Amino acid sequence: MSTISAAYFACFGFIDKLGFLITDIAIEVCFFFDIVLNFLLQYKDDQHKPVRDLKRIAVRYLKKLFIVDFLATIPLRYMNLLEDENDERLFFLFKLFRLYKLKEVMDTKNF
């Protein structure tokens, strides 16, 4: 939902209706929790052994996907840092970084 709506908003502008606002904020909160969880959840190394060391997990996440997740989650629209509608549309392009995250989630060999 968020990636599709971000592409729409980048092209046509944000819809200022309460339902869209609540949905947008709820999705942003979910992505924020996803960032936090990525610092805590184990992963499998090259030998398919689980890695549970929080420092190694954090370093791996910071090197791989943190910057993508962070850029896609910055709530610039609500921080009043955008000056005009064109800046706002450009901001929504950052949300498209989530497409990469969707690919990671849909990758069936991780199951």
Give residue limits of the domains in the chain: 2-20+28-110
Model confidence at 109, in pLDDT bands (50, 70, 90)?
low
Which distant-in-sequence residues (6+ apart) come within 8 Å of 38 by Cβ? 61, 65, 66, 69
pTM higher than 0.85: no
Q: What is the pLDDT of residues 24-78, one digit of tens each?
A: 788 888 889 989 999 999 988 889 899 999 999 999 999 988 988 888 787 766 6
pLDDT-derived band at 85 (thresholds 50, 70, 90) equals low
